Structure 1
Amino acid sequence: MKKNAAQFLIFILIIIIIHVIPGYSQQAKPIGIGKGQLNGKITDEKSIPVMYAVVNLIKASDSTRVKSVITTENGAFTFNQLDEDAYFVTIEWIGYQKKFNGPFVIDANHRLLNIEQLVILPETNQLNTVSIVGKKPLIERKSDMMIMNIANSTLAAGNTALEIITKAPGVTVDNNGNISLRGKAGVNIMIDGKLTYLSNSQLTNLLRTTDGNSIQAIELMTNPSAKYDAAGTGGIINIRLKKNMNYGTNGTLTAGGGYGKYYKSNGSITLNHRSKNINVSGNYNYVNTKDFETLNITRSITSENENTYFDQRGREVTLRKNNSYKAGIDYYLNEKNVIGFLISGYANNGNTTNNVHTLIGSRQGSTDSTITGLNPGKSKYRNQTYNLNYKSVLDTSGQELNIDFDYSRFSSNQNIIYNNNFYDALGIVNKLPFILRNITLTKVKIWAGKIDYTYPIHPKLKLETGIKSSYVNTDNDFQSQNFENNNWINDRTKSNSFTYKEQVNAVYANLHKEFKSTTLQFGLRAEMTHSEGDSPTTGDLVKRNYTDLFPALSVHQNLSKDHEIGFSYSSRINRPDYQSLNPFLYFADLYTYSKGNPQLKPEYASSFELSYGYKKTTNVTFGYTHTRDVMTTTLLTDPVKKTLFIFEQNLASRSTVSMNINRPLAITSWWNTNNDATTYYSRFSSPDLSGVPFENKKWTYMISSIHTFTINSSVNAELSANYQSAQVFGTYVAKPIYSIDLGISKSFADKKANIKLSADDLFNTRQINVKSAIPLQDYKLSQKQESRIFRLSFSYNFGNSGIKAERQRSNSSSNEQNRIKSGN
């Protein structure tokens, strides 16, 4: 398998190189007999070159667009092979006025034209003498995504990425950390276009330590193109971090504090230096928080005509001290070629104390015995990732080559002690304490590489293609020990080891075509997967080899100036995360635990969407997704052991029908809102779950309303309200959730400094409540995290306020990293 995959990748690489070499020759190709050439350079009002702006060449006679190019790193552009004619040039760049220049005439006496420096100015609107320069709306819609621009949002102040994502329209997070987008589970998270291969619970931990002040925007994609990894049956959420923008040296200092039940604190520093040929950047973040979570479970079990009732009350207090860092350097070989190196990582430590009180009785409301547990735990998580990357802009028409190589290593050490004390109905000790300890050691190594190539066949037809290969090796050691005679004795019946190896090789091609009023995109991605899960202790060895094709299609049609429609389709996969495959037992208490499933299979989804847009403001989307072998977190009871355990397994299918309406509305000149409403119907079904057919279905409604208030030129406020009705997740039903967040910000010192005050979950209503959807299984679970938190955050920007952007890198191993426990 590995040999064939390597040969296949080498073949694809040769094909790409064959296409790349002609691209270099085009950089210096002659004007041509009877042909003309138009050169120019674009700067802003400070004479700083504008890179990556769109330059359109328009024929003066009929206003048709002839060609489009992207400016280089120094703001230059070139149009080659021009017929004799008169032309206009238009320039487009986000946040700046559209520039219109010309006419420029190519004739027998003017074959080569060099346009003097073209200057573009910021887009400025006057509102009652208040100048707003290039300000983006909080919620922005594009044909293939919804964008939440939170760079200056008060609701981002002091919050983590996870807390911000939960406020995004159409997004929900359940009690196990499963993220859903418009009712579809299996969402993959990207950071700066890089997928992060963590399990749902592990990803939740990682997002908790990503500082919201460092986020520029959040992009929600329900049907990504074939260019993206096929992983993620529910779509992709991409978190774009802030970038510096000018030459020179600058940085940002951030400090924040908060208080709910316990304290929260965070601090960070970001530095960037850019000269003509070198860009050096780095950041360091520190988070020190203490928070709590209550977990209450009431349930009953019938065994041999005998009922047993449990009333479990648990409270966990966690102290986290997290350190994360990133440093990178880019060296510009010339205006079209750059090579870079990046190192990033984290060192996270945690201490938990979990108090569990379990009442057991033969009748509801009665207590025959009691178990109390005081369960302390410690954890350490370490990560380092190295990235080597190369980017080449082969010509001014948009031909581009990107190469990335990655190596990542992760390690974790968890040590939890379970102290169980037993009492009778009168509260008198009736049994010796039972003390056990679980030690989990995990090591993960990831190697990955990818090549992406963009070839503009002509101005309205573009081909994107590329290859990727990744190899993951995980080694897990689980030790269960009992405390006997003042010594820890290994329990071989519960101890285990587990290794997992996975190789994925992928190739894709994506074609983008523009017609007069229609945009068409079609892509195909092929992924070959080989995996081996081995548990020597139990003798379980699971090998899998499979190859899949993932087509993607989107069509966008402008019906008129105010009306547009779109259709999209994609096929995607969700592979089991590493922890879900691990057969170890993880205890919450003596009667509640989770267990991995080495037999877990990947799930496959086909997703369709039909959209309608009116005046670039109102958007209505209808969707349908069918997922087979859907991976579902199930809560099951064991009538013999009288336990409740969380178990990942494949149900037969899940079908979701949805409708989404998004409508921004300006109430006044200083009060703007964005309103998003989603309704969806989900149906889970399986012909055999615990020996009987199973079906769980329900309509769900979600409403999000975000209000922004411009009080004056330096003071802004925001209010966010969210509601989601009862919904189904696999084998259980969740009750409604709702909350209100409020924030206000004040900028000063020539807008270099900013102070923000926010209140999350102002009325302390955010709580998860679920109950069983399986007949004859009776349980109710209530989970309440510390959600009402008041935060104060301060940031200060120093140095040159406009350094050119730190280059976006497309890390090749991030998809694999998304399936590793981060311990944040």
Structure 2
Amino acid sequence: MFKINNQLLILLLFFILNIPKLYSQSTVGKGQVNGKIIDEKSAPVIYAAVGLLNAADSTKFKVVISDLSGGFNFTNIPDGNYLITVEWMGYEKKFTSPFTIDAAHQVQQINNINMVPDTRQLQTVSITGKKPLIERKNDKLIMNVANSILATGNSALEILSKAPGVTVDNNGNISLRGKAGISIMIDNKQTYLSSAQLTSLLRSTDGSAIQTIELMTNPSAKYDAAGTGGIINIRMKKNTSYGTNGTVTVGGGYGKNYKSNAGLTLNHRAKNINIFGNYNYTNNKELEDLIINRSTMADNQKTYFDQQGKHNILRKNNSYKAGIDYNLSDKSILGFMASGYVNSERTNNDINTLIGSRPFGVDSSVVADNRGKSRYRSQTYNLNYKSVIDTLGQELNADVDYSIFHNSNDIIYNNYFSSNLAGVQAKPPLIFRNSTPTDVKIWAGKIDYTYPVNPKMKLETGVKSSYVSTDNNFQSEGLQNGDWVNDAASSNRFAYKEQVNAAYVNLHKEFKSTTLQVGLRSELTHSEGNSITLQSIVKRNYIDFFPSVFVNQNLSKDNEIGFSYSRRIDRPDYQSLNPFIYFADLYTFSKGNPLLNPQYANAFELTYGYKKTTNVTFGYTHTKDVMTTTTITDTIKKTLLLYEQNLASRSTTSLNVSRPVAITTWWNTNNDATLYYSRFSSPDLLGTPFKSGKLTFLINTVHTFVISPSVSAELSADYVSSQVYGTYVAKPMHGIDLGISKSFADKRANLKLAVNDVFDQRKLQVKSAITMQDYNLSQKQESRVFRLTFSYNFGSSVIKGIRERLNGSSSEQRRVKSGN
């Protein structure tokens, strides 16, 4: 049996319970300053910025915010001479007379500080502080989604598919600059989902709730080692002002079906407490056309399949989050957060399969009427402690997490057989149903510690332990004489357990013109996959080391170069290890592989930057034991099996260039282009050696237009040339999106109109890259959609100050199905 590492939990509890002792020993003074601030009517001044300054040079020692009574308090002050400064909107900046803290004056009481209204009349000034849509900061590219008109009403997956260098295949697998195996984080938390399950979660995440998307191609050792292609971090919007405030959003859209979304964010922040919460709802009906043409050869006889399907999908999603942060002192915060979702999905899949012995000839047909319903529920609880031990930057974070997931998927397959196009029944209908209840539990704990050795050197270290258990009970039944009868041969129960214990260390050092960061992460993994029905158990125990190196050299004021290296891992997701058979239709199904091994990647990058705007990056990544979905043809049953396997290797060489261009004062562009070559190889795939490779070009350009102070527009265009996904080759794809935004009511209200895929051009077309396998797929989703969204910000908009939180179970959650 698996158990949480007791020593790690004891260590975690020791740190949490003894933090006050740790930093109290590092304080250098015992002085205290108290006071109160009032306005011209002797009323208390709340939420004013109160600074404690060194009297000698006016440098700030500390800053606090006045409370609801107008009071303020400074503690742990070393001996010296000080003064107080107060800043409050609409009033003149106030300075007090100097005072002394020493052995004879340990406590200083500052009598009422009277604020004076600022009577100076200022000329009207137009100030624009809007962030650009695309930014580059250090080792990441940031997409400011909150500023994008085109994010309105779209899902997180739709927005990701338009991010610079990002592509999404027909199964929802995400690649970054040609590299698959992307680890998705939300608010710095790993999501722990399989690729199919992650697609479901991203489709249910409303783009209107996203603040930024961060793309990291070579993360440091501080992050979980999962993600051979890099990390994409989605940061959700947070209402960060003092007082009580919030945002309400309502939207609707139409393509070939209706879409709707709504959301509410609330936040109340006072001196020592912050209470926050949000709720988002989406109700989308979607249509997808699917065409599959293929043939199989058996006994020198070819059989042709012409499959046409229409998939109608109704998704209803409810997601929520609520939490509280409490300042135990001016240096430590204790927080609790609960979040979750309740998602449902109904599908109507009508599939017509024509079968013949010659192209376009029909000898028989199968009409499938498949109906499905799914429900996905999740709750996650996080307890977090943060301590800023001193003003030099010494800091400690601790997290304890517990997550539970329950998913249920029920599908009824109705198959009707005809001997020809006239609809003459060839044999009785085949009707069966599958039910797949899944339960997942995740426990995790982690501690991160930052120690500034000196102003130019910083040490980061931490430990983490996670434990995941899953239970999948796949049940299949057939309809016989009006009764449902269990199909024991097709039913299967699969249980999986996994524990990962990790530790890391990062050293960051700044020289005169050079910055160096070296890190090492170690992860010890224990896993056990138990196919209870087949009485087969697969156990694994392994330890891995993941080094990382980052070097940045300033050549001049405007020129810099950098080099980075990291080693990373992708473990099989829980669903891919489950050996049960999942039917897409009577002739197409998928199956997991309990013997699937993790894949490892070594990634190198060389970068050049000019004036912090133009960036050129050359990258090379080599991945061994690549996990990929292969298409296996059964020549006897004439079926297709989508099966997870390890290919021998994949190598990706890429060149990326990004540059913003300001055409006029009202027209700005962000441009990103990537040229990459991916090559897959295996000495034995389906009995023969396999190699596939292709040179691919990606370009993304975003244009923003400032029409007036309250009206702006945005145009986005992207193009992806033909590319390789393991054993598939995809044809080029392109599209254009357009949107316009109008703000009013003192910029608290905003109305956005957006059109996705203006010319209805986005269509995914793939074929098999395996020699002698005839397989062609065309998938056209409902991509041209008109959306109208209204949002309104209400309440206080005073000083910002909400904190980010990183919980411990986020990477495990990436591998749990959440619904779409």
Please give the TM-score of this superposition, normalised by the length of structure 1. 0.89
How far apart are residue 695 of structure 1 and its match? 0.4
Distance 1:596 1:370, change over 3 A: same
User: Aligned equivalents of 2:147 and 2:606: distance in 1?
Assistant: 32
User: Aligned equivalents of 2:74 and 2:541: distance in 1?
Assistant: 48
How far apart are residue 71 of structure 1 and its match? 6.3
User: Aligned equivalents of 1:682 and 1:77: distance in 2?
Assistant: 59
User: Aligned equivalents of 1:614 and 1:129: distance in 2?
Assistant: 36
Does residue 817 (structure 1) correspond to residue 800 (structure 2)? The answer is no
Distance 1:673 1:594, change over 3 A: same
Does residue 24 (structure 1) correspond to residue 36 (structure 2)? The answer is no
Equivalent position to 1:406, from 401, 407, 410: 401
User: Aligned equivalents of 1:56 and 1:541: distance in 2?
Assistant: 66
Equivalent position to 1:376, from 359, 371, 375: 371
Does residue 775 (structure 1) correspond to residue 771 (structure 2)? The answer is yes
The alignment's C-alpha RMSD in Å is: 3.6
Equivalent position to 1:197, from 185, 192, 199: 192
Structure 2 counterpart of 1:501 = 497
* SS class of match (2:199): helix
Structure 2 counterpart of 1:275 = 270
Where in structure 2 are the equivalents of 1:230-269 lying within 5 Å? 230-269=225-264
- Which amino acid letter does the alignment assign opposite residue 522 of structure 2? A
Contact 1:73/1:336 (8 A) holds in 2? no
Structure 1 counterpart of 2:723 = 727
- Which amino acid letter does the alignment assign opposite residue 396 of structure 2? L
- Which amino acid letter does the alignment assign opposite residue 26 of structure 1? S
Structure 1 counterpart of 2:361 = 366
- Which amino acid letter does the alignment assign opposite residue 380 of structure 1? R
* SS class of match (1:816): helix
Distance 1:69 1:212, change over 3 A: farther
User: Aligned equivalents of 1:595 and 1:566: distance in 2?
Assistant: 43
Contact 2:589/2:640 (8 A) holds in 1? yes
How far apart are residue 2 of structure 1 and its match? 6.1
Where in structure 2 are the equivalents of 1:80-159 lying within 5 Å? 131-159=126-154
How far apart are residue 775 of structure 1 and its match? 0.7
Structure 1 counterpart of 2:614 = 618
- Which amino acid letter does the alignment assign opposite residue 642 of structure 1? K
* SS class of match (2:27): helix
How far apart are residue 804 of structure 1 and its match? 3.6
Seq. identity, %: 64
Contact 1:145/1:222 (8 A) holds in 2? yes
Where in structure 2 are the equivalents of 1:173-572 lying within 5 Å? 173-427=168-422, 428-572=424-568
User: Aligned equivalents of 2:199 and 2:21: distance in 1?
Assistant: 44
Contact 2:749/2:792 (8 A) holds in 1? yes
The Cα offsets for residues 547-578 of structure 1, whole Å up to 9 and x where unpaired, read as 11111111111111010011111111101111
Distance 1:284 1:372, change over 3 A: same
User: Aligned equivalents of 1:759 and 1:426: distance in 2?
Assistant: 40
User: Aligned equivalents of 1:432 and 1:2: distance in 2?
Assistant: 49
Structure 2 counterpart of 1:656 = 652
How far apart are residue 133 of structure 1 and its match? 3.1
User: Aligned equivalents of 1:602 and 1:197: distance in 2?
Assistant: 15
692-701 or 275-284: bigger deviation: 275-284
Contact 1:417/1:435 (8 A) holds in 2? yes
72-81 or 483-492: bigger deviation: 72-81
User: Aligned equivalents of 2:12 and 2:419: distance in 1?
Assistant: 71
Query: How many residue pairs align between the two structures?
Result: 787
User: Aligned equivalents of 1:396 and 1:164: distance in 2?
Assistant: 39
How far apart are residue 308 of structure 1 and its match? 0.5
How far apart are residue 156 of structure 1 and its match? 1.1
Contact 2:519/2:547 (8 A) holds in 1? yes
The Cα offsets for residues 676-728 of structure 1, whole Å up to 9 and x where unpaired, read as 00000100000110111100111100000000001111111000000010000
User: Aligned equivalents of 1:620 and 1:740: distance in 2?
Assistant: 25
How far apart are residue 338 of structure 1 and its match? 1.3
User: Aligned equivalents of 2:182 and 2:62: distance in 1?
Assistant: 32
Structure 2 counterpart of 1:596 = 592
User: Aligned equivalents of 1:809 and 1:239: distance in 2?
Assistant: 13
Distance 1:76 1:602, change over 3 A: farther
* SS class of match (1:334): coil
- Which amino acid letter does the alignment assign opposite residue 210 of structure 2? I
How far apart are residue 17 of structure 1 and its match? 9.6
- Which amino acid letter does the alignment assign opposite residue 451 of structure 2? Y
The Cα offsets for residues 81-131 of structure 1, whole Å up to 9 and x where unpaired, read as 9999xxxxxxxxxxxxxx9x9xx9x9x9xx99x9x99x9xxxxxxxx9982
How far apart are residue 80 of structure 1 and its match? 9.6
User: Aligned equivalents of 2:64 and 2:602: distance in 1?
Assistant: 39
Does residue 637 (structure 1) correspond to residue 630 (structure 2)? The answer is no
How far apart are residue 802 of structure 1 and its match? 3.5
User: Aligned equivalents of 1:284 and 1:336: distance in 2?
Assistant: 31
* SS class of match (1:330): strand
Structure 2 counterpart of 1:581 = 577
Does residue 709 (structure 1) correspond to residue 705 (structure 2)? The answer is yes
Structure 2 counterpart of 1:608 = 604
User: Aligned equivalents of 2:578 and 2:27: distance in 1?
Assistant: 53
The Cα offsets for residues 610-647 of structure 1, whole Å up to 9 and x where unpaired, read as 00001111100000000011111222211121111211
183-192 or 510-519: bigger deviation: 510-519
User: Aligned equivalents of 2:659 and 2:262: distance in 1?
Assistant: 36
User: Aligned equivalents of 1:144 and 1:407: distance in 2?
Assistant: 31
- Which amino acid letter does the alignment assign opposite residue 696 of structure 2? T
User: Aligned equivalents of 2:791 and 2:785: distance in 1?
Assistant: 19
- Which amino acid letter does the alignment assign opposite residue 338 of structure 2? I
Equivalent position to 1:787, from 783, 790, 793: 783
User: Aligned equivalents of 2:131 and 2:182: distance in 1?
Assistant: 26
Contact 2:225/2:568 (8 A) holds in 1? yes
* SS class of match (2:708): coil
User: Aligned equivalents of 2:674 and 2:564: distance in 1?
Assistant: 18
* SS class of match (1:651): strand
User: Aligned equivalents of 1:765 and 1:216: distance in 2?
Assistant: 28
How far apart are residue 805 of structure 1 and its match? 3.7
- Which amino acid letter does the alignment assign opposite residue 500 of structure 1? Y
- Which amino acid letter does the alignment assign opposite residue 345 of structure 2? G
